[in-house]
Structure 1
Amino acid sequence: MFRTDTVPTADRFELWREVLTRTKAAAPAEITSDHTDDYWAEMRLMRLGAADVWPTGMRPMGMLRTPGHIRQCDPEVYHLSYVLQGTKRVVQDRREGVLGAQEMHIVDSSRPYEVHVLAPGRARAVALEIPKRLLPLPLDRVDRLVTRTLSAREGVGALLAGFLIRLAEDSGSYGPSDGPRLEAVLIDLVSAVLAHQLDLDAALPPETRQRALSLGVQAFIRQHLGDPELTPGAVAAAHHISVSYLHRLFRAQGTTVSASIRHQRLERARRELADPARRAVPIHRIAARWGFPHHAAFTRAFRAVYRLAPSDYRDGTLGASPAHGGPAQTSTFL
C-alpha cells in the first residue's frame, strides 16, 4: 500500500513515479504531471499468481512508453484499466480512446502508448495486468482491441468489473493460498470479455466458458435474491441453458441451485436482523425483502440453519427491545 500523504510534500511526485514504474506496464515509462508541487496518489498492489491487480487513485498525470523504454524492458502483458472516477485518454497504434466512469480499456506493453489522466479533480481506477501468454485467444486479434472502450455496465464486462471491485474492497480477507484461484477467475473473465468483443466466444476453451457462465449465473442470483419467483427454471431461462445443465454447474461446486439461493437469502436476512439501523423493521418485511413471502416458512428455514427463531436471533444480537422489556446487551450470537 502506498499513499503520497505519508511522505513530505516535496518528495511525493518522485516517489509516486518510482512506485508506478514498479508495475509491469509502466516499467519503464516517462511520467509527468502539472501538479508535481503537491501531488496526491495512492495504490495497493496485489499479486495473484502471474497477474497483478492494483486499485489506485491519482491527480491528473501523463504516462509515455516509448520504443526505447520497451527495449529496456518488456514484461509482455496486457494492461486493463477499469475507470471508477474521472476521465482517461489512451493512445496506441495511432488509435485514441477516451474513457469515463464504468468503462474499461486495454493496452499492450510491447508497443508504444500514451495514457493521460485528465483534469479536473482526482481519478480512481482498478488496473489489471495479465501476461499475454495466459490468454487463450489469438493475440493478433486481441491487439485490435487496444484503446477501444469496453463497457463494464452489462454482460461479462459487468462481471469482470464487479470482480475487480470485490478484490479491491476485500483484499484483506485473501491469503497467499487464494492467489492461484483468483488468478484463474481473472483470466477466465478477461478472456470472456475480449472474446465477446471479438466474436470469438467459440474459440474459448470449454472450461473457460463454463467458469464464466457459472460466474454469470451466480451474479444473476445475487441480483435477484428478493424475487420469490427466482427458481432454477428462471435462472436457466435467463442464461439460455437447460435446467439439467444448470444443475450440473452447481453439482460441480458441491451444492444445488435451490440450496445456494436459500443460503444466500437467509444470510442476507440474518445480516439485516443484526443491523441496529433496521431494528424497527418488522421481521416479516425483512423476510419478504429476501424472497420469503411466507413468514412461517422463513422462520422454519431460519431456525434450521441458525438454531434460533429470527426474533430470538435479533434480540440476542442487538439486545432485547423495549417492547420485550429488557435492556440492550452485548450479543453472544455472532
Structure 2
Amino acid sequence: MSTDREDVFRGSMRRLQLGPVTLLRSSFSGLRITSTAAMARRADPEVYHVTLLLKGSFALTRGAEPTQVFTPGHLHVVDDSSPFDLRAFASGTVPPSDQRVDAIGLDFPVSLLPWSPDQLRAVQGRGFTGGEGAAGVLAEHLLSLDRRGPELGAVAAPHVGTAVVNLVAGWLAQELAAEGALSQEARLGALAASIRGFIQRNLHDPQLSPSMVAAAHHISLSYLHRVFGQQSKGETVAAWIRGQRLEKARRDLSDPTLRALPVHAVAARWGIPRASDFSRSFRAAYGLSPLEYRMRELLNAGGGG
C-alpha cells in the first residue's frame, strides 16, 4: 500500500464480524494497493472480497486483464489468487486534503458459495451497477448493515452473515446466467441458495409458505419442491421453514437479554402466531416445552444447576 501524499493521508476502517463473514467499512485518502505474482501465490485463495464503492473511484488491473474503472454504486468481487494493481482516487467538494474514498467490503470463505473461483472468472474483477436487479438488493442490504450492523447481538450476527452471503449468491447467479457461464448444476445450486435466503429473510411473516416462495422466484410449486428436494437431501420446503422458525425461536429463548419477552411473542416474531402450535412443535423438536427450555437455559447461563 502506498500514497503519493503521505503528509495528508488519513484513513479509518470499522470491522463487524457476522459469523464467518466480515463486514468492513473503510474511508481513506487516495491510495494504491499492489499485489505481485509472488504475493498472489502466497495469498489465501479461499476468501472472496465483495466491494461496494460509495465515494471516489477505483482503477483495478488484475494480471493481464484490461483495467476496470469503478465509480460510486459499483459492486465487484475478487479473490486474491491473481496479481493486481488497485488505484483508489479520492473525490469531493472539500479541499484535496479532506477528499475521501468510501467503500463497504464483505469478506467470506469461498466454501459459502456454490461455485469455485474458477467458475467465477467470468465476473471477477468486473464492475456491476448496484442500482438494479439482484445487485441493487445486495447494495441496499450492505448499506443497511453499515448503518445498523453495530446494533446486532452475538445471537443474530451469524444469521445475518448467512443472509448477506445468500444475497451475494443471488447477485452472482444473475450475472453468471447473463454471461452464459453457469452450468445446470450450479444454476440449481444458486436457485436453492436464493430460496433459502428468501425464506430466512421472511421467517417473521406468518404467510410465508411454499407457494409464496415459488411465486417470488417465478417458478411453479412443483419445480420448487423438485429443486429444493434435490439440493436439501429430500427435505421439503415446508419442513425447512418450520425448522428454521423453531431454531430462531430456540436461540431467542436461550438469550438472557430477551428473558422479558413472553414466549408467545418469541413465537410470533418468527411467524408462528398460535401459541399452541408453537408449544407442540417445539416440544416435538427439542423434548421440552418452550418455557421449560427457557428456564433450563437461563439457569445454565446464570451458573445454576
Q: Which of 205, 219, 222 is the aligned partner of 1:227?
A: 205
Going from structure 1 to structure 2, the CA distance change for 1:99 and 1:110 (only over 3 Å counts) comes to: same
Going from structure 1 to structure 2, the CA distance change for 1:106 and 1:214 (only over 3 Å counts) comes to: closer
Q: For this pair of structures, how many residues does the alignment match?
A: 255
Higher mean C-alpha deviation, range 235-244 or range 210-219: 235-244
Q: For 2:71, what is the secondary structure of its paired residue? A: strand
Q: For 1:90, what is the secondary structure of its paired residue? A: strand
What CA RMSD, in Å, does the superposition of the two structures yield over aligned residues?
4.8
Shift of 1:212: 1.0
Q: Which of 282, 285, 289 is the aligned partner of 1:305?
A: 285
Going from structure 1 to structure 2, the CA distance change for 1:64 and 1:287 (only over 3 Å counts) comes to: closer
Determine if contact 1:287/1:293 at 8 Å carries over to the other structure: yes
TM-score by length of 1: 0.58
Shift of 1:190: 7.1
**CA distance in 2 between partners of 1:303 and 1:71 (Å):** 57
Matching of residues 96-107 of structure 1 within 5 Å: 96-99=69-72, 103-105=74-76
**CA distance in 1 between partners of 2:37 and 2:284 (Å):** 63
Shift of 1:110: 7.8
Going from structure 1 to structure 2, the CA distance change for 1:115 and 1:277 (only over 3 Å counts) comes to: same
TM-score by length of 2: 0.62
The code of the aligned residue for 1:238 comes to A
2:19 maps to which residue?
A: none
**CA distance in 1 between partners of 2:257 and 2:132 (Å):** 30
Going from structure 1 to structure 2, the CA distance change for 1:99 and 1:235 (only over 3 Å counts) comes to: same
**CA distance in 1 between partners of 2:29 and 2:171 (Å):** 27
Going from structure 1 to structure 2, the CA distance change for 1:269 and 1:54 (only over 3 Å counts) comes to: closer
The code of the aligned residue for 1:83 comes to L
**CA distance in 1 between partners of 2:167 and 2:83 (Å):** 21
**CA distance in 2 between partners of 1:33 and 1:160 (Å):** 31
**CA distance in 2 between partners of 1:205 and 1:247 (Å):** 20
1:48 maps to which residue?
A: none
Q: For 1:308, what is the secondary structure of its paired residue? A: coil
Shift of 1:214: 0.7
**CA distance in 2 between partners of 1:126 and 1:36 (Å):** 30
**CA distance in 2 between partners of 1:156 and 1:218 (Å):** 18
1:91 maps to which residue?
A: 59
Structure 2 residue 155 is matched with structure 1 residue 155: no
Higher relative contact order (CA 8 A, sep 6+): 2
Structure 2 residue 205 is matched with structure 1 residue 205: no
Shift of 1:237: 1.3
**CA distance in 2 between partners of 1:110 and 1:329 (Å):** 51
Q: Deviations over 1:282-326 (max 9, x none)?
A: 211221111111111100001111111111112222249xxxxxx
Q: Which of 87, 90, 104 is the aligned partner of 1:114?
A: 87
Structure 2 residue 25 is matched with structure 1 residue 34: no
Structure 2 residue 303 is matched with structure 1 residue 330: yes
Shift of 1:210: 0.7
Determine if contact 1:89/1:117 at 8 Å carries over to the other structure: yes
Structure number with larger C-alpha Rg: 1
Q: For 1:316, what is the secondary structure of its paired residue? A: helix
Q: Deviations over 1:55-104 (max 9, x none)?
A: 68563342276xxx9899988x9x964138x534123668643225xx51
Going from structure 1 to structure 2, the CA distance change for 1:39 and 1:245 (only over 3 Å counts) comes to: same
Matching of residues 1-334 of structure 1 within 5 Å: 17=1, 31-32=2-3, 34-35=5-6, 57=26, 59-63=28-32, 81-83=50-52, 87-91=55-59, 96-99=69-72, 103-105=74-76, 114-116=87-89, 119-120=99-100, 124-126=104-106, 134-135=118-119, 146=126, 148-151=127-130, 155=134, 158=137, 191-195=172-176, 199-200=178-179, 203-252=181-230, 253-254=232-233, 255-319=235-299, 329-330=302-303
Higher mean C-alpha deviation, range 225-234 or range 103-112: 103-112
Determine if contact 1:60/1:122 at 8 Å carries over to the other structure: no
Determine if contact 1:318/1:329 at 8 Å carries over to the other structure: yes
Gaps of 5+ in 1: 1-16, 18-30, 45-52, 171-184, 321-327
Q: For 1:32, what is the secondary structure of its paired residue? A: coil
**CA distance in 2 between partners of 1:129 and 1:291 (Å):** 31
Gaps of 5+ in 2: 16-21, 61-65, 92-98, 146-151, 155-165
The code of the aligned residue for 2:134 comes to G
Going from structure 1 to structure 2, the CA distance change for 1:259 and 1:63 (only over 3 Å counts) comes to: same
Q: For 1:126, what is the secondary structure of its paired residue? A: strand
Q: Deviations over 1:148-187 (max 9, x none)?
A: 3432885267569989x9xxx99xxxxxxxxxxxxxx999
